[in-house]
Structure 1
Amino acid sequence: MKKRCLYLLLLLCAVTSFGGVFMRPASSAALGGQEITQLPVLFDVTIMGPPLATQEQCVSHLLKHNPLPLITVSAAKLVNYYFEEGQREGIRPDFAFAQALHETGYFAYGGDVNPLQNNYCGLGTTGGGVKGAWFPSARIGVRAQIQHLLAYASSRPPVTPLVDPRYELLKRTVRFGKAVTWTDLNGKWAVPGIGYGQRILSIQQRILMGK
C-alpha cells in the first residue's frame, strides 16, 4: 500500500515539476473486457516526456525477474541506451524500456524474434515465423524502437539518422504523430492490441515500486 501511494505521489509531483497535465485517467473501456493480470492502472501517461524511474530501478527490475536476459550487452548498458536515445528524442525512456520488457518477455524471447536481432519491440514481425527487422547493435535496436515511438507520438523527424525500417511507412498513414499517451497505442502498435498500453504502464509501475 505504501509503495502504491508513493507511485501516485511521484506521478502528481511530475505534473508539478514539469508543468502542464500529461496524465489522464486510464480508461477501462480500452481493455475491451479482456482480463489484464498486471497491476491496475489508474493513470495514463504521455509517450513523450521525462523519465519517472531511474536507470538503476530499470536494471534492478529486469534482473529481479530474469537474472540472465538474452541480450547482446549488459543490462546496465542496455538501459543506458534507452535513457540516452529516449531523452534525445523526448520519449520517456523508462516506459520505452517497459515496452521492450513486454515485447520480449523480459528478454527471454520464445517467439519469432531471435535475441541476436537486437529487435526489442517486434519491429516488422507479423507472426507465422516472420522474424522482422535485424539491427547491427543493441544501441541501434533501441534507437529504432525510440524512432518508431516518435513516429506515433510526434510529426517531427528524429534527431538521429533514421534506422527505423517502418518509419516512412507509418508516416504515410493517419496514425502518424497521433498517439499522445501509451494507451493510444492500443490496436495500433500490435493487432488486436487490446490492453497493450495498459501492460506497458503496469510494468513501469512495477519498476517504480520495486516489484
Structure 2
Amino acid sequence: MKPLPTPTPTATPTPTSTPTATIQPTATTAPTSGPTATPTSGDAPIVGPASGPPDAAVRWLAPRADASYTDYDLAQIVAAYQSLGDAAGMDWFLAIAQMCHETGSITSWWSLRPRRNPAGIGVTGQSMPGAPDAPPNGDASRWAYRDGRWYEGVSFAEWNDDAVAAHLGRLLAYALKTPQNDMQQRLIDYAMTVRPLPASYRGVAPTIIGLNGKWAVPGTTYGQTIISLRDRMRSA
C-alpha cells in the first residue's frame, strides 16, 4: 500500500480536493453487526476491539444528524470508521461516540459540508474579520469563512478518505508513544500532517478518560461524557 499523502484540507466554503487515505471503507450500504468487545464500565481503552456494533452507530445517527446527511451518507461514515479502526486495532465505536459528542451527532457547523470536521480538529475558537478571498496570513487551509469572518479550524474534502483518518490518527497519537502496527503508524503520520501534536502529548491518554483536559479544555469530565454517550449509542 502507498504511504498516506500529505493532505491539503481546505477551509473555504468550497474546499478543493485533498489526498486520501489508502484504505477505503468496504460497506456501501448500512453496515451490519460485527464482533464487539465485552461492555466495560469506568474507563475505556482507545486501542482494542470495538465496544459496539456499526448498526447501532447508524441507528443513533440517523434520527439525529443534520438533514443534509442521508442514511446512506451516515452508513458510509460509520463504515469508514469501522474499516480503518479494525485495520489499526482500535475501538472505532468509541471514536464514533467522541465524534458524536464533538459534533452534536453531526449537526454542528464544523461537521457540515464543506468542512466535515469530525472532532474539533484545529478548532481554537479564534476568529477575525476579513474578505472571503483573504484568509489570515494567506492560509486558507486552516480557516473557514462565514458571515464576514474567518474561523480557525481544519476542513476536509471527504469524510471517508480524509476526516475519519485524521480523527483516528489523532486519537492514536494521544494513546500511543510508539505505534504497534503499520496502519497505526500511517494514520498517525497522516493526522500529524493535518494538525501536529506536541511531543509531550504523545502517549498520554491510552484511555478515553486520559483525554480529560487535553483534547478539550477544561474538559474535566470529557472522557466520562463520551463513555456515557457510547453506552447509550450501543443500546440504540
Q: TM-score, normalised by structure 2?
A: 0.65
Whole-angstrom distance in 1 between the partners of 2:152 and 2:177: 28
Whole-angstrom distance in 1 between the partners of 2:220 and 2:69: 27
Is 1:127 matched with 2:151?
no
Query: Which residue pairs with 1:208 in the alignment?
Result: 234
Q: TM-score, normalised by structure 1?
A: 0.72
2:121/2:195 contact within 8 Å kept: no
Counterpart amino acid of 1:127? G
Whole-angstrom distance in 2 between the partners of 1:77 and 1:113: 15
String of CA shifts for 1:100-155, please: whole Å, max 9, x gaps: 11111111114x56531221011101013434112221121000000000000012
Query: Which residue pairs with 1:155 in the alignment?
Result: 177
For structure 2, the residue ranges without an aligned partner over 5 or more in a row are: 1-35, 128-150
Query: Which residue pairs with 1:170 in the alignment?
Result: 197
Query: Which residue pairs with 2:61 in the alignment?
Result: 62
Is 1:136 matched with 2:136?
no
For structure 1, the residue ranges without an aligned partner over 5 or more in a row are: 1-10, 16-22, 24-41
SS at match of 1:65: coil
Superposition RMSD on alpha carbons, in Å? 2.7
Determine which structure has the larger helix proportion and give its number: 1
Count how many residue pairs are aligned between Structure 1 and Structure 2: 172
SS at match of 2:38: helix
SS at match of 1:184: helix
Could you list the runs of 4 or more consecutive aligned residues of structure 1 that deviate by over 3 angstroms after TM superposition?
112-115, 165-169
SS at match of 1:200: helix
2:122/2:195 contact within 8 Å kept: no
Which is higher, the Rg of structure 1 or of structure 2? 2
1:147/1:167 contact within 8 Å kept: no
Whole-angstrom distance in 1 between the partners of 2:199 and 2:158: 27
Whole-angstrom distance in 1 between the partners of 2:227 and 2:191: 23
Shift of 1:165: 4.1
